[in-house]
């Protein structure tokens, strides 16, 4: 619903895009392309994927017609060597993990977008290393956008607490913030946090954070909090910039 709503998260994303240099292209890493392989979208016109059900028709009808960038897709393949990367020319596209954020960053959909899958076979450390390997793209005007949730437990949602957080949500979110703002290379320590199983019952939504940590590590820097994100009791959408 963030694609359609205006809230503290979407305002932060909107304002960030207007304060940062305009990128020539975007590499999107979404929790919703979580598959047993590494792949990039290499088509000229990626389709908008509506990978959900039970939401308002306006969301199902939402389109984000950004162009692709096949040359950038090939560059991603080269940067991730020796990882085998599949160039997807007629499958996948842009899922809502990407376009719900991009809708506020670049609402005109006029910046080319390439999506990179999250390979569920890779370890946390390997994801951090892949994030670091992608760092040269930033020197060429490419915005690397990783989209997930620091805390993502849909089974424990409290819809009556739009700004609320369980104790374990707060503890895990705080631990992630400490690591990202002081020692991002050590972000994999989150897998040993007492609340890990509650915060990430499936790791797909946490893994994008590892890519941000890798980018920070490659730059010899730390991440900054763009907007703090506890919501609905069992989610955290804390957003970071490097």
Q: Same domain for 143 and 181? A: no
Q: Same domain for 192 and 103? A: no
Q: Domain total for the chain?
A: 2
Position 141 scores a pLDDT of 97
Q: Same domain for 10 and 109? A: yes
Q: Same domain for 68 and 101? A: yes
Q: Same domain for 20 and 120? A: yes
> Mean pLDDT, the chain, as a whole number?
95
Q: What is the pLDDT of residues 50-74, one digit of tens each?
A: 987 778 888 889 999 999 999 999 9
- What is the average per-residue pLDDT within 191-210? 97
Q: What is the pLDDT of residues 139-174, one digit of tens each?
A: 999 999 999 999 999 999 898 888 889 999 999 999
Position 163 scores a pLDDT of 85
Q: Same domain for 154 and 129? A: no
For residues 227 and 177, is the Cβ–Cβ distance under 8 A?
no
Q: Same domain for 9 and 102? A: yes
Q: Same domain for 117 and 4? A: yes
Q: Same domain for 175 and 242? A: yes
Q: Same domain for 207 and 143? A: no
Give the residue from 147, 173, 198 where a domain finishes.
147
Q: Which domain holds residue 68?
A: 1-147
Q: How far is CA 213 from CA 119, 131, 227, 228, in A?
A: 17, 7, 16, 17
Position 173 scores a pLDDT of 97
Which one, of 193, 206, 194, lies nearest residue 236 by Cα?
Answer: 206
For residues 223 and 180, is the Cβ–Cβ distance under 8 A?
yes
Position 111 scores a pLDDT of 98
Position 217 scores a pLDDT of 97
Give the residue from 122, 147, 172 where a domain finishes.
147
- What is the average per-residue pLDDT within 26-34? 97
Position 5 scores a pLDDT of 87
User: How sure is the predictor about 229, in pLDDT bands with cuts at 50, 70 and 90?
Assistant: confident
Give the residue from 147, 179, 203 where a domain finishes.
147
Position 127 scores a pLDDT of 98
Q: Same domain for 30 and 122? A: yes
For residue 106, give the CATH number of its domain. 3.40.830.10
């Amino acid at each position: 619903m963030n694609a359609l709503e205006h809230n503290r998260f979407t305002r932060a994303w909107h304002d960030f895009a207007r304060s940062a240099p305009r990128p020539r292209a975007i590499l999107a890493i979404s929790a919703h392309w979580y598959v047993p392989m590494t792949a990039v979208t290499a088509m000229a016109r990626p389709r908008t994927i509506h990978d959900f059900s039970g939401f308002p028709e306006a969301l199902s009808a939402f389109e984000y017609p950004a162009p692709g960038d096949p040359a950038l897709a090939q560059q991603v393949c080269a940067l991730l060597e020796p990882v085998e990367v599949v160039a997807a020319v007629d499958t996948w596209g842009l899922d809502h993990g990407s376009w719900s954020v991009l809708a506020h960053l670049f609402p005109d959909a006029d910046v080319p977008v390439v999506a990179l899958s999250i390979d569920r076979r890779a370890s946390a450390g390997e994801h951090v290393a892949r994030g670091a390997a992608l760092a040269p793209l930033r020197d060429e005007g490419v915005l690397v956008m990783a989209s997930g949730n620091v805390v993502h437990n849909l089974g424990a949602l409290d819809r009556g607490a739009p700004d609320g957080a369980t104790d374990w949500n707060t503890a895990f979110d705080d631990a992630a913030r400490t690591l990202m703002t002081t020692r991002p290379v050590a972000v994999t320590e989150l897998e040993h946090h007492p609340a890990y199983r509650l915060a990430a019952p499936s790791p797909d939504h946490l893994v994008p954070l590892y890519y941000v940590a890798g980018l920070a590590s490659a730059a010899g820097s730390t991440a900054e909090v763009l907007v703090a994100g506890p919501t609905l009791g069992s989610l955290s959408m804390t957003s970071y910039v490097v």
